[in-house]
Amino acid sequence: MGCGGRHAFLRSVGGAVLAVAILPSSVSAAGRAPVFDVPAQPLAAALRALARQGRVQILFPAERLEGRRSRAVVGRFETARAFDLALADAGFAARRVDSRTFVIVARPRLSPPPPIEAPTADLEPIQVWGRRPEPGEIARRLATDLDAPTSVRSLSREDMERGGAQNLSEALGDLPGMTVINTGRSFIGGIDSASRGEGLYAAYRGLNAEYNLSMINGVSVAQGLPYSRGVQLNLLPPDAFQTVVVHKTGRADLDGDFIGAALDFQTPGPTDLSRSPWTAVTVGGRVETRARDYGESGLGETIRVEHGRRFGAAGQFGLYLAAAHEDRSFVNSELAGVMAAQNDRGWAYGVSGSAAGGAPDAENPQEGLVQTSLNVGVSSGRSRLQNYALALDWRAAPGLDLRLNATHAQARTEQNSTFSQVVSGAQSWIDDGSGVYRLSVRDLSTRVWYETNPDNVSLSTLSLKADAVSGRWRLTPYLFASRGESARPDHLEASAWINQNDGYNVGQTPRAFGGVTVQYRDGLPVPQWPQSVFDDLNQAGSVLVARRAGQRTEQFSEQMRYGGGFDLSFTPMQGPWRNLRIGAKLGRSDRDLTDRNWTNAFFGDIYQTAGLTWEALGIAKGTYAEVFPGLYDWSIPRIDHDRLEALFEANRTTESFDTCGALYVNNLNCNSQSGREIVQAVYVMATHATGAWETQFGLRQERARIVNRFWVLPDASEGETPGDWAANRSRYDMLLPSLNLSYRPNDRGVWRAAAWRSYSRPAFMQLGGGVRTETLDGVTTVTRGNPDLKSADAWNLDLSHQTWLPGGGALSLSAYAKQIDHYLYESGSSLDVGVVPDEAAVRVVMPRNGGRGDTRGLEMEWFQPLGDPFDLGGQASLDLNLSRQWSRVDLGQILGRSQPMLNAPEWLGNAELAYAQGRAAAYLSLNYTGAYLSAYDVLKAEGDWDNLWVRSVARLDARARWRFDERTRLDVIVTNLTGAYSYWAHVGRDGAALSDVVDSGRRVVVSLRSVF
């Protein structure tokens, strides 16, 4: 918990773990037992009342208590005895976790593992606040996961705060099987997004982010990304959520449109009357060390305010409010070798067996690659994040609760990147006299290129839910809405070249050269350019000739999702059937996408002047002394973005509008698309329990109807003509059975097995995508979306075992397997997904399903208290997890019949060593992500070798905490202690000749939190 137990929370969303926390304000006189007066009533309400009157915290899975009633408890009892009396007929027992915390578990139960002994002198001021590593805090999380009806892994606020994560996607990286991805295929991707130095998405168990279901307080959130069903998580701060629940297995009451994980991000709820009102304030500051290397401040700040209270005559109304603001800046280094290889044909073979320059070893085409063109630059920017949460509950009557949850998060990022570019000219291979042909690059064009990547992302949710309990019946109707936005509102590009030619700059030539442009040291290119090229780069602002007066792209994508449903459950009085449930859900989503472009004329032509430079135009003002400190030492201009934008606007004309051609109506609409999706679902569930065995049966019927509206662009080979709107339709009907089996021989462990069916619908862009027809050399190519794409359908198996270990430790082992038919992968705006060769006169390019994919893996988690190895009166602990993943998919003839899935490293691991003594605690954590395939066929070369791989990375972080008192604490975090590159991607699994590299340095964060 964020304040180690000082907060109180009510959580009852979608079967998630419900926790009600009430802490004592003082110790009862002479240690007397409390007085209880709790009549017989629904069990969940009775447990809350007992916890409130007993001044303790109680944790229980709400779903398993549905329909059960308590016995009356009246009189003075020890708290444990009071719980036993209330639970006498319910089949549950109360298990003490620590001095003030109980967990409700199924009978029969044995004693929990005892907490580790600690010296009394240190324990008194710390125990109240549940410090880390405190056995009580660990035990609460483990006990909750252990007692859940299906296989879940929860991540508490305390878990997330102890790490160095700056957003929710990075916090998820502490979990087994979770891969943090810092790039993607939204409006920006590749090194552009990686150069921010932050995690953006989370992939799970070998499946990319679009295979996950993301929820906030049980609401399936809108998917605002333009080309994917994934959800960008970098706009969500970890401390905005009380708990993250990762549902590893499918259930009938969860949306069926996920094959990875169902992630439920749960915000705090209203407090209990016993500690109302309360207010918490967190303030913090940060510094980015890489920005300091460039002479920038790299500073940032954050503030978060939370307030909770109960009001009304009997405290029947509850309120929770939170507001947060964060401002952070960055200046990072980037080597964009893959970008140069893709955009400028900046690669070749250094040696060849012929003058044609082919691969020296046809069996290993990635051997012998060299970089011929190179981009090196600086990416600077600022992110401003805001986050708000509201929770209201009303205990309207006995057995009737109403809850309202609302959240809003937004991130506004300004990102400006400036690259030094050296682009190779004509290439030849010359016989060295021994029959070996060596590469020679004839000339080099020196350039500077500037681009902006603004990123406006927002995500909002709203839900209204009622819980009505009468006897053994429970009815839960609900309404929900969510809106997601992803926009790049004003992407601007400009460049300056040594060989710029236009109406007034005539006869400009590149720098003469001959030979190989780079050599390699430690896997990175070392330029072998002539001095004239280095001189050009060092004086780029005054030597290179300004090219165009800017190119601007405006891109917007949003989705609105809304609907409602109900869940009705019945708990039989006796017999093996513990719970019977039925439910229905109706949801609709509407989405819009626009993408438009303007390209201005050359500066020379506009001003009828030759030799205009960025300095002369006021665009370049000063320099960064080193383009990539520690690696490349030439300088690079600092760009006045406002001046460039003003010049663009001053010179934009009607002819600048050129999204797809010359006609205004085509340019306005050719990259626009809208869509509507309606999803209907009904489900039945039943839970059967016999002895130590419990089985949950489920069956869900889900029907989706999708309509896409898009622009059809006619063939312009004989002149451009106006296009028109068209539409297509897609439908998906799935019957999704699920089976979750649990075996609990005692309270120290549980064995689980699960099998379920799930699916993932294609992205809107792949279904719609527009239609374009082009004729070249007598071959007509039609590029369009494919409304007949099949969903990716999967059978899933999961086996797991969780157990307590002697001495207070815990062990979790998992194995899983997923078999996916009609595999699909995220491809950005490209529609040639799985394209097959076609030699016909009319060639159709459209997305196609892949074949079968398989992913399987093993996971291990181990927590072990270590006592006091330093003999200083404190406590140490080790928290470790390790994942091994295998994945293969058939992508067809061109991309390969047996390729790894995207963003699926073979190895993942986390380790944390913690030590706490008195008011202080320290943590050292290691995160390891193995190498993984990030994109297919990035060079469009023959064969399946030219995939983009991200190199493995190990990041070491440290954290220190000091508690001034029970209400106030100070935290200091330092990330990336070793200074490792945050991103290194390269073409080919085994070679690094063509690489993208980002150095984002270290981050230091200081925060102070106090509760009033």
Q: 46 by DSSP, 3-state: which?
A: helix
* Domain annotation covers residue 649: yes
Kindly report the pTM of this predicted structure.
0.85
Q: 800 by DSSP, 3-state: which?
A: strand
Mean pLDDT of 501-529: 95
Overall number of domains in the chain: 2
Q: What count of residues does the chain have? A: 1012
Place of tokens 């839960």: 476
* Domain annotation covers residue 971: no
CA–CA gap between residue 570 and residue 473 (Å, rounded): 5
Model confidence band, residue 830 (pLDDT cutoffs 50, 70, 90): low
Is 914:922 a contact under the CB 8 Å cutoff?
Answer: yes
Which of 826, 845, 864 terminates a domain? The answer is 845
Here the contacts of 830-834 (C-beta below 8 Å, separation 24 or greater) are 831/765, 831/766, 831/769, 831/783, 831/784, 831/785, 831/786, 832/783, 833/766, 834/891, 834/892, 834/895
* Domain annotation covers residue 524: no
Which of 65, 90, 109 terminates a domain? The answer is 109
* Token pair belonging to 985: 């991607």
* Token pair belonging to 381: 């920017």
* Domain annotation covers residue 633: yes
- The CATH number for 372's domain is 2.40.170
Cβ-in-10-Å burial (0-12, 13-18, 19+) of 990 comes to exposed
Predicted pLDDT at 72: 78
Residues contacting 574, CB < 8 A, separation 6+: none
The per-residue b/e assignment along 685-700, b for 16 or more CB within 10 angstroms, e otherwise, is: bbbbbeeeebbbbbbb
Instruction: Please spell the DSSP secondary structure of 388-446, one letter per residue.
Output: EEEEEEEEEETTEEEEEEEEEEEEEEEEEEEEEEEEE--EEEEE-SSS-EEEEE-EEEE
Q: Phi and psi of 772, rounded to 5°?
A: -130, 140
* Domain annotation covers residue 226: no
Predicted pLDDT at 941: 87
Beta bridge partners of 488: 555
Q: Percent of the chain at pLDDT above 70?
A: 91
Query: pLDDT tens digits, residue range 947-999?
Result: 999 999 999 999 999 999 989 999 999 999 999 999 999 999 988 999 999 99
Predicted pLDDT at 122: 33
Helix (H) or strand (E) holding 578: strand 577-599
CA–CA gap between residue 433 and residue 436 (Å, rounded): 7
Query: pLDDT tens digits, residue range 625-657?
Result: 999 999 999 999 999 999 999 999 999 999 999
* Domain annotation covers residue 883: no
* Domain annotation covers residue 866: no
Query: pLDDT tens digits, residue range 211-248?
Result: 999 999 999 999 988 888 889 999 999 999 999 999 99
Structural domain containing residue 88: 1-109
Which of 804, 822, 845 terminates a domain? The answer is 845
Query: pLDDT tens digits, residue range 754-774?
Result: 999 999 999 888 898 888 888
- Kindly list the distances between the CA atom of residue 156 and the CA atoms of 17, 369, 460, 931, in Å, as whole numbers in the listed order: 11, 47, 22, 28
- The CATH number for 74's domain is 3.55.50.30
Is 179:204 a contact under the CB 8 Å cutoff?
Answer: yes
* Domain annotation covers residue 810: yes
Q: Which range is least confidently modeled, 29-38, 596-605, 840-849?
A: 29-38
